[in-house]
Structure 1
Amino acid sequence: MSEEVLDVAIVGTGPRGISVFERIAANLTAEPEPRSVRIWLIDAVELGAGRIWRTDQETCFLMNTVVGEISMFSGVSDGEPCRPGAGLSFQQWLHAQPDPALAGLGHDDYAPRYAYGRYLRYVYDSVVRGMSGLGEVVEVVGKVTSLREEGNSYELRVSTADDDLTVTTDAVVITTGHAQAELSKHQCELARFAQGRAELRYLSGDSAADLDIPSIAPRTAVGVVGLGLSFYDILMSFTVGRGGKFKESIDGAMFYVPSGNEPWIVAGSRSGLPIRSRGRNQKGVTDRAAPKFLTSAAIGRLRERSLQHRGSPALDFDHDVLPLLQAEINYVYYTTQARAQHGPERAEAVAAELRTLGPGLARWREVAVRYALHDVEPVDLDQLSRPLHAKRFNSGASLVAEVRRILRADIAEARQGNVDSPLKAALDAIRDSREVLRHAVDFGGLTPRSQRADFLDRFGSRTSSLFTGPPLERTAQFLALIDARVLDIVGPDAVHGCDAEQDRFFLESPAVEGSRRYCDVLIDSRIPIPGLVRNTDPLMRQLVAERMAVGFVHGDAEEVFHTGALHITPAERRVISADDRPHRAIYALGIPTEGVCWFTQIGNGRPGVLTSYSRDADVIALSVLRRAKSNAF
């Protein structure tokens, strides 16, 4: 080792921070003469788990990825002790736990969130041990409040429970994850309304684990805005978390036995429906289908064509990318329908014809007719995501009947699985295509207008509810809580606000007669990406105020789109300052870059599979070490 020490600070030690830490250590281990390194690991909540995955969460909060698809080590276990670059997957770690409830979880089960936090701690501790002999690890529990250049170094101010301290480093990696956002104008009005009335409360902008749910008294009327994954955490905290029990009747139907400690819950959202169930997993870790139409090569050809015709390689999502994605979805749908109706040989014949025809769906209908695929129409993502849109209901009972019909059908499809159900298999094709979608949309890959309007506002906001959902048991529990009259729903295009005459909050749907419901506690379960404008994190505020960082602004002659994401370089993920200069060694990864990169919420790699999750961490790790070796700092 050389005597000179390289100081690296990793700010935020949730999954993204751990992934960079692990890759730095793995790359150091692989070097014949590794440089001596001091790594500062800084987290405001819990080292090795962060805030979202902290280990003291309620046991009823579940992950939405099956345990067999998760690993935080960049390489598989080789039978030797876990170390940087090789270690136990989440499933392998679970099987070694003394708690039977965890050890008994199978490949296709869903683990509690706190268990994943414990696994993250295990990986983190393994990497810390692996750093022995390579350098020093300094752990700091505190919030970074500022980051400034001082000569050839960076100085971070960190506020801890005991004192403020200054950390001087050669490189900084920002992996801070979800930050709270400033309240919007409407949210401020709701908060002020509650402040003036002692019996009312307004909660928003945070995960269920960080909301003050336990203090809400039984029988309180509670309104919940949003029916996504966070909604289910809130729902479980109010029910199972308070002693309620879900049971099955003789005929297998789920029902709920209240504890008496539940509040009365009413909920609403734009779609009027909860996020749909993921299909029962039938795939192994490496069973994701290779795209047939939406490929990196196809994206490259589209960029060449766009450059020739439009003078820019930026793509139009609806015109260029979506047709290829729809072909991927419907290729799986048609071939799975053929297998279900006529067997595997017919499915292969259909697949061969569709590949020959190419991605134009207009000609695929002829194939369906010729091969006797009865009642097979192309998958309509808009209709699937908003089946209640444009419908009107004369009562809450008629709404509930329609919601029950839709969700029971969804449960039936989910039970078939993500291979055997034509619909769930087709929707899973979106997950299988995410890597190529990133290739198409990241770093200004779309035109500004198309990124904002087509991809984020329409496709992203609607279709995420179709393929990122919870296990099917959550949907069954949703219906059981409606039957038990613990939960009520207001309908689609739900609106919420303050009623000064009633001195209460309300939720209602314009599509349902008599849907207005009053409540004393209003919870907004939606967790926004705060971006740089509404971000309450003092570090992000300071970086922007002092022009050390700037938001990525995507613009052309037609539109300028302020993404709110940290502007970073594509190659190394280095943060770019307001004068368009990449910093020597300030890097960012994950949630702070959402808007430059897509779907950064993913918090894990996959065992034995090199995904963009591990590659992104490795890019930063190699950049830090190579720049240090060449004195490029």
Structure 2
Amino acid sequence: MEGQAVHNPTDEVLNVAIVGTGPRGISVFERIAANLTAEPEPRDVRIWLIDAVELGAGRIWQTDQETCFLMNTVVGEISMFSGVFDRAPCRPGAGLSFQQWLRSQPDPALSGLGHDDYAPRYAYGRYLRYVYDSVVGGMSGLGDVVEVVGTTTSLREVDSRYELSVSTADGELTVPADAVVITTGHAPAVLSGHQSELAEFARARPELRYLSGDSAADLELSSIAPGAVVGVVGLGLSFYDILMSFTVGRGGRFKEGPDGAMFYVPSGNEPRVVAGSRSGLPIRSRGRNQKGVTSRAAPKFLTSAAVGRLRERNVRQRGNPALDFERDVLPLLRAEVNYVYYTTQARTQHGPDRVEAVAAELRALGPDPVGWREVAQRHGLTDVAPLDLDQLSRPLRGQRFDSGADLVAEVRRVLLADIAAARRGNVDSPLKAALDAIRDSREALRHAVDFGGLEPRSHRADFLGRFASRTSPLFTGPPLERTAQFLALIDAGVLEVVGPDVAHGGDAELGRFFLESPVVEGSRKHCDVLIDSRIPTAGLLRNTDPLMRQLVGERMAAGFVHGDADEKFETGALHITPAERRVITAHGRPHRAVYGLGIPTEGACWFTQIGNGRPGVHTSFTRDADVVALSVLRRAKSNAF
């Protein structure tokens, strides 16, 4: 890090501060550098790169995390360069994809990973560092790069510029900036009321521990004693990281038996885990990848054009372009999912000729499901009912279990079917292909949802309250081996499932935590360690990041409040402009050049947790970065600062 910054009012250098150097920060840095390279006479630039944990990787992708934590995106679909490798030295705008970089690694466990394999999370952190270093090198001759490891505590307007205060190991640093890009990613959230009660329950009993609201890499898991009973709330991706840390991370091994089934060989260092969630099941497996990077299916019904037509209709009928998610958008998505489901059933049951006939008839009927079942029956799909996303997300709903053994039997049935479907792949399995259609429709969903595109009530209750929370676990899950490992750990006695609609709290009489399911007889389990593995978006209301707290407290930023005459609700997202992603103050004025991107904007935008681009494909991840980079450079040219 350079010494204490001194601001020279006559300095003609454009100072740009990027706060947070995980994937989003790197993407903006890369696009600024690439655009500067393309200019015949680029402006002198000084880029300040600021991160509280690890420059070029950030907190979530830090490079020293446990090797057993896996990504949930196949390596062949990942690149952080905005352009493909052209055999020239890697530079801003063109470089190695993640898979190409992995092939160059000396560790055979990394270099041997294929297109459809899943890499450890630390390896992606190392790749991010590689991209980051390549872009830093690419800035040679374009401008200076100043690297700062520290926590940004404040951002204020001073005359015609901004000043950031950064707390570093060497003291307080003041960073002058003409433009500031906030890409701080996930921040721990202030504990909720119930979480605070549980934390207090543990503080009053030294033998108990309560952990919550952070990634597995930042939880103190290694200090939990072997044999301790650990309750885990939530069965998502973070749960799997915790489970792997307690097992593989402690010397346990998964093996395959003669019948092909996976089993677990304990090391003896494992704690005993009891776990539950709202659905009672772990997040479902991703289908084995059978698609190339550019072979994503183009949506047939839920398209940006269709969203635009719905808005025009609503303006004509009600004078308001906002959409009702349940009425306007969800029927198109259901049609998308079932179109892929029926056509894949036709192909797998009757061959490619039949699929063309079924597809043509379904497209001719349009998204209204009336008549679809008749088409399916006419083409020999008599036993194929349309998919019910709600039922798929909550297959245990409405059931009661007389014992834990009955619950485990049903969980095993559901998960074995899920593993079988995942093994068939996201092209050949009708179920996994259909669920993958939701991923392929995310761009159009964003057009419908982002920046207040839905009616406030529908956004809060229909989209966030029902669809996003229930449906995301169906298409954002881990590789299928994780589900097989889940069952193997149940068989080994290391893991016990509690059931759906799990309740958890402190049992004052026994002085221990508990988990229980209201639909499983005798399900209450007591534990001395309780981990809430759910990672909520901190938002502005519960954010522990000092920068966010200062911006809101001094009204330099505001949350995006989605409202109309009937309802208003706080989304918790930074309020930003749609066109340039400029942060909007509490007074409703966009900053000259303060930008927000990624997780801090979740709520104004949807699914901002994506942490990579795709090789050779101009995805929204790269477009978002380019929007910010171009805005910074254009405003500098026009003196709009």
Q: TM-score, normalised by structure 2?
A: 0.98
User: Which 5+ residue runs of structure 2 have no aligned equivalent?
Assistant: 1-9
- SS of the residue aligned with 2:515? strand
| 8 A Cα contact 1:442 1:596, kept in partner | yes
Percentage of pairs with the same residue: 82
| Partner of residue 143 from structure 1, selected from 134, 138, 151 | 151
Do residues 621 (structure 1) and 629 (structure 2) align?
yes
Structure 2 SS opposite 1:361: coil
Asked if 1:469 is matched to 2:477, the reply is yes
Determine helix, strand or coil for the equivalent of 1:241: helix
Does residue 1:77 correspond to 2:71, yes or no? no
Whole-Å Cα distance in 2 between the matches of residues 362 and 241 of structure 1?
A: 52
The residue that corresponds to 1:187 in the other structure is 195
Letter in 2 for 1:595: G
Give the corresponding residue for 2:340: 332
Q: In the TM superposition, what are the counterparts of 1:213-612 in structure 2 within 5 Å? A: 213-612=221-620
Please state whether the residue corresponding to 1:541 is helix, strand or coil.
helix
Residue of structure 1 equivalent to 2:60: 52
Q: CA deviation at 1:362?
A: 1.9
SS at match of 2:162: strand
Deviation at 1:3, TM superposition (A): 7.9
Distance 2:366 2:200 in 1: 57
Equivalent-residue separation in structure 1 for 2:62 and 2:369 (angstroms): 46
For residue 309 of structure 1, report the CA deviation from its aligned partner. Answer: 1.4
SS of structure 2 residue aligned to 1:136: strand
- Where 1:321 maps in the other structure, the secondary structure is helix
CA deviation string 1:469-518 (max 9, x = no partner) = 00000000000000000000110000000001110000000000000000
1:8 equivalent in structure 2: 16
Partners in 2 of 1:3 and 1:129 — Cα distance? 23
Q: Which letter does structure 2 place at the counterpart of 1:154?
A: Y
Give the Cα–Cα distance (whole angstroms) in 1 for the partners of residues 635 and 129 of structure 2.
29
Distance 1:362 1:522 in 2: 49
Counterpart-to-counterpart distance in 1, 2:527 and 2:363 = 54
Q: Is the 8 A contact 1:70 1:90 kept in 2?
A: yes
SS at match of 2:45: strand
Residue type matched to 2:482 in 1? R
Give 1:390 shift.
Answer: 1.1
For residue 407 of structure 2, give the secondary structure of its aligned residue in structure 1: helix
SS of equivalent to 1:470: coil
**AA partner of residue 82 (structure 1):** C
Query: Which amino acid in structure 2 is aligned with residue 566 of structure 1?
Result: L
2:28 is paired with a residue of what secondary structure?
helix
C-alpha contact 1:3 1:36 (8 A) present in aligned 2: no
The corresponding residue for 1:206 is 214
Is 2:72 the partner of 1:64? yes
The AA in structure 2 aligned to 1:471 is P
> How far did 1:77 drift?
0.5
Structure 2 distance, partners of 1:522, 1:376, is 43
State the AA in 2 paired with 1:161: A
- Give the C-alpha shift of residue 134 in structure 1: 0.1
Task: Look up the SS of the partner of 1:145 in the other structure.
Answer: strand
* 51, 59, 65: which one aligns with 1:43: 51
1:136-166 superposed Cα distances (whole Å, 9 cap, x missing partner): 0000000000000001000000000121110
Report how far residue 374 of structure 1 moved: 2.7
Can you list the C-alpha shifts for 1:254-293, whole angstroms capped at 9, x where unaligned? Answer: 0000000000100000000000000000000001001101
Which 4+ runs in 1 deviate beyond 3 A?
Answer: none
Correspondence list, 1:95-114, <5 A: 95-114=103-122
Q: For 1:507 and 1:484, how far apart are their aligned partners in 2?
A: 21
Residue aligning to 1:124:
132
SS of corresponding position for 1:217: coil
Alpha-carbon distance in structure 2 between the residues aligned to 1:319 and 1:161: 54
Query: What's the counterpart of residue 171 of structure 1?
Result: 179
Matched position secondary structure for 2:583:
strand
Matched, 1:23 2:20: no
1:66-96 per-position Cα deviation (integer Å, ceiling 9, x unaligned): 0000000000000000000000000000001
Deviations 1:552-579 (A, max 9, x none): 0011112101101000000000000011
Residues 3 and 553 of structure 1: CA distance in aligned 2, closer, same or farther (over 3 Å): closer
Q: Secondary structure at the match of 1:362?
A: coil
How far does the alpha carbon of each residue in 1:152-198 deviate from its partner, in whole angstroms, 9 at most, with x for none? 00000000012111001100000000001000010011000000111
Between the aligned partners of 1:50 and 1:531, the Cα distance in structure 2 is 18
Residue 77 of structure 1 contacts residue 89 of structure 1 at CA under 8 Å; is this kept in 2? yes
Distance in 1, matches of 2:197 and 2:272, equals 24
The 1-side partners of 2:248 and 2:11 are apart by 56
Query: CA separation in 2, counterparts of 1:162 and 1:139?
Result: 14
> For each residue in 1:11-46, what CA deviation from the matched residue of structure 2 results, as whole angstroms up to 9, or x when unmatched?
000000000000000000000000000000000000
* 8 A Cα contact 1:531 1:565, kept in partner: yes
Task: Find the aligned partners of 1:458 and 1:94 in 2 and give their Cα distance.
Answer: 39
Task: Summarize deviations over 1:334-373 as a string: whole Å, max 9, x none.
Answer: 0000001100000111001001110011210110110010
CA distance in 2, matches of 1:456, 1:124: 34
Rounded Cα–Cα distance in structure 2 between residues aligned with 1:585 and 1:334 = 49
- What whole-Å deviation, never above 9, does each CA across 1:416-444 have from its counterpart, x for those lacking one? 00000000000000000001100110000
C-alpha displacement of 1:529: 0.3
- Structural RMSD (CA): 0.7
> By how many angstroms is 1:4 displaced?
1.9
| C-alpha distance in 1 between matches for 2:457 and 2:235 | 28
Number of corresponding residues: 632
Aligned AA (2:386) = P
CA distance in 2, matches of 1:242, 1:259: 7
Task: Measure, in 2, the Cα distance between the counterparts of 1:456 and 1:175.
Answer: 23
Paired residues of 1:255 and 1:484 also in contact (CA < 8 A): yes
Q: How far is the alpha carbon of 1:311 from its aligned partner?
A: 1.6
1:511-532 Cα shifts (integer Å, max 9, x gaps): 0000000000000000000110
Q: Is the 8 A contact 1:293 1:359 kept in 2?
A: yes
